[in-house]
Structure 1
């Protein structure tokens, strides 16, 4: 079984994913890191040289490739808004949406130059993107988790739910 963590940038996917992997002895993969390794480029470089569509294709392929493993995968903020990636993830595991208020995410990401969407958008524009994606995350996820609390509590809830 593969656990996919989805949500907006800064919601805690990587932090919770690493903790979940430690507590369950599963392999942890950050999807963006995986893509950077396979493409031999950073995410901003991929966006700049090959475009978002190319990146989304590689992202969907990575979701499929990683579904063969029993692991926990921290998806990129846009992964599960792609219906194809979401379908592959749901068919091969459980998709947990880490739902958290925009202001919390924004405080965590606002100074990160490695996030193309942050670098190329204002706070208001990011909030619009957040609002548009929220319903899509809800639609494409298997389970919604309140992520406005400590990583330990979030992780424990996911473990409890995934054990059922």
Structure 2
């Protein structure tokens, strides 16, 4: 059995849907950001502040290497599967699924979240530009694209249909 890697923009539902999909398939669920926080002993905002985004991205790669052999549903961070090395790790060892959620839905979920350093330090226009830049990369770097509209249960059921 291979891991399932969920990708998509911040707030697309990777964690919420991933938990449900993991439960329905009898797999473990891992939120990559939470895993990194536990491993590093600090929050993501603290990692960004103390070491910068580049260091955080290195931690993502190391975590993906370790988790790529698990029988899990893994919710990746919004930028994790934009890096070529990370894409290779995930696609070689598992199934990458893009949760395609409209920007406005994502924005409503992330706009006031201080735990998301990129969202907290960006305007709506900057986030929209980031979304537009990342969208074709999510499509290109995933094996499957599913709609992120609907209830979390409906989205999780779409994942089950794929796997």
- Ranges in structure 1 where 5+ consecutive residues have no aligned partner: none
Give the TM-score normalised by the residue count of structure 2: 0.97
Instruction: State the Cα RMSD in Å.
Output: 0.7
Partner in structure 2 of residue 60 of structure 1: 61
Q: Is 1:150 aligned with 2:138? A: no
Question: What per-residue deviation string (whole Å, max 9, x for no partner) do you get for residues 66-123 of structure 1?
Answer: 0111000000000011111111000010000000110000001111001011111100
Partner in structure 2 of residue 3 of structure 1: 4
Matched residue SS, 1:60: helix
Q: What pairs with 1:41-120 in structure 2 (closer than 5 Å)?
A: 41-120=42-121
- Ranges in structure 2 where 5+ consecutive residues have no aligned partner: none
Separation in 1, partners of 2:162, 2:23: 17
Separation in 2, partners of 1:2, 1:135: 23
Provide runs of 4+ in structure 1 moved above 6 Å.
none
Give the TM-score normalised by the residue count of structure 1: 0.97
Question: What per-residue deviation string (whole Å, max 9, x for no partner) do you get for residues 23-73 of structure 1?
Answer: 011000000000000000100110111111111011011111101110000
Give the total of aligned pairs. Answer: 162
Separation in 1, partners of 2:34, 2:122: 22
Separation in 1, partners of 2:97, 2:151: 16
